Amino acid sequence: MDYIVRATAAGGQIRAFAATTKDMAEKARSTHDTSPVVTAALGRLMTGSAMMGVMMKGENDLLTVKVSGDGPAGALTVTADARGNVKGTVDVPQAMVPARADHKLDVGGVVGRGFMQVIKDLGLKEPYVSQVALQTGEIGDDFTYYFASSEQVPSAVGLGVLMNKENTVRRSGGFIVQLMPFASEETISALEENIKNIASVTVLLEEGLSPEQLLDEVLKGFDIEINDTVQTQFLCDCNRERFYKGICALPKSDIKEMVDDGEPIEVKCHFCGKKYEFSVDDLKGML
């Protein structure tokens, strides 16, 4: 079962999140039939977005994170809510690049250079939109840079996805650790030392560490208080009504053209692949 833990440490000077997301990443892989390297990229983006999603306060708050690079995968788009529900899609699911020199999947290579855009819909008149340049395209580094430059929160983000030989997901997960504005120099130095010395997330995941154990590693030497646990999953909230409204929003001339064709139309959800058919009568009703 995939879940996220929310914790504080050092008397509230640090807030931390850790997640295990194997089922989520595998659902995305099977839905979009992604290549191993795209599975890793999308899995990392979904994991980071899931943890960011549960940082939001409102029940109906929505977060969209879009990574637009010049690599062969094109854009990756993930939407997450405050309840741990996440969905993701990618322009070119089967994109491939050679492995790195250390034989690891080259996520930075398949993503390329470009931008990470974060849109937070917090129920206000306008959504909060922020954009930063991708640092490495490895996703974790890019989230770290986003938090520092857009939210002014010093953070460490570690994300990893491991694949089986038959290209299914073996492990997926990660952590986000953030310093509060009142953190002491001593706390900052100790945390920096920890981050410098821990093994990579993929190594820790391969050892079978749970989210709680991940935080034990990252926050070694600190008193940790687990505040709550949130289930997380790949869940698409698309429905027929939403697509109906979407077609209604098209120019009347376009809908009339569809009616004149005399054939039903089929629309497909980018996120989950579900198809919805609208008959000629449906289209006439829209006019």
191: domain CATH number is 3.55.30.10
129, containing H or E segment: strand 128-133
What is the mean predicted confidence (pLDDT) over 23-34? 98
Task: State whether 181 and 255 are in the same domain.
Answer: no
Q: What is the pLDDT of residues 196-212, one digit of tens each?
A: 999 899 999 999 999 99
Tokens representing 164 are: 């089986």
CB 128 within 8 A of CB 122: yes
Q: What is the pLDDT of residues 176-195, one digit of tens each?
A: 999 999 999 999 999 999 99
- Which of 234, 251, 273 is at the close of a domain? 234
Q: What CATH number is attached to the domain comprising 260?
A: 3.90.1280.10
Q: What is the pLDDT of residues 52-89, one digit of tens each?
A: 999 998 888 999 999 999 999 999 999 999 999 999 99
Task: State whether 139 and 221 are in the same domain.
Answer: yes
Q: What pLDDT is stored for residue 254 in this prediction?
A: 87
What is the mean predicted confidence (pLDDT) over 247-275? 90
- Is the pLDDT confidence value at 123 over 90? no
Q: What pLDDT is stored for residue 198 in this prediction?
A: 92
The pTM of this model reads 0.94
Q: What pLDDT is stored for residue 163 in this prediction?
A: 96
- Which of 216, 234, 252 is at the close of a domain? 234
| Residue among 111, 127, 128 at smallest CA distance from 67 | 111
Least confident of 26-35, 43-52, 147-156, 248-257: 248-257
Sequence-ordered list of residues with C-beta below 8 angstroms from that of 213, at least 6 positions apart, any chain: none
Q: What pLDDT is stored for residue 110 in this prediction?
A: 98
Task: State whether 209 and 270 are in the same domain.
Answer: no
Q: What pLDDT is stored for residue 58 in this prediction?
A: 85
Share of the chain above pLDDT 70, in %: 100
CB 41 within 8 A of CB 139: yes
Gap between the Cα atoms of 269 and 286, Å rounded: 20
Q: How far is CA 279 from the centre of its chain?
A: 35
Task: State whether 185 and 163 are in the same domain.
Answer: yes
Gap between the Cα atoms of 251 and 244, Å rounded: 14
Task: State whether 230 and 249 are in the same domain.
Answer: no
What is the mean predicted confidence (pLDDT) over 208-232? 96
Q: Which residue has the higher pLDDT, 248 or 143?
A: 143
CA atoms 91, 93, 96, 101: torsion sign: positive
Task: State whether 171 and 131 are in the same domain.
Answer: yes
Task: State whether 248 and 222 are in the same domain.
Answer: no
CB 155 within 8 A of CB 1: no
Task: State whether 131 and 249 are in the same domain.
Answer: no
CB 279 within 8 A of CB 269: no
Task: State whether 163 and 274 are in the same domain.
Answer: no
Task: State whether 162 and 277 are in the same domain.
Answer: no
Gap between the Cα atoms of 31 and 116, Å rounded: 23
Range of the domain at 257: 240-286
Task: State whether 230 and 246 are in the same domain.
Answer: no
Share of the chain above pLDDT 90, in %: 85
CA atoms 104, 88, 211, 190: torsion sign: positive
Indicate the number of domains in the chain.
2
Gap between the Cα atoms of 145 and 154, Å rounded: 9
Task: State whether 22 and 153 are in the same domain.
Answer: yes
What are φ and ψ of residue 117, in 5° steps?
-115, 130
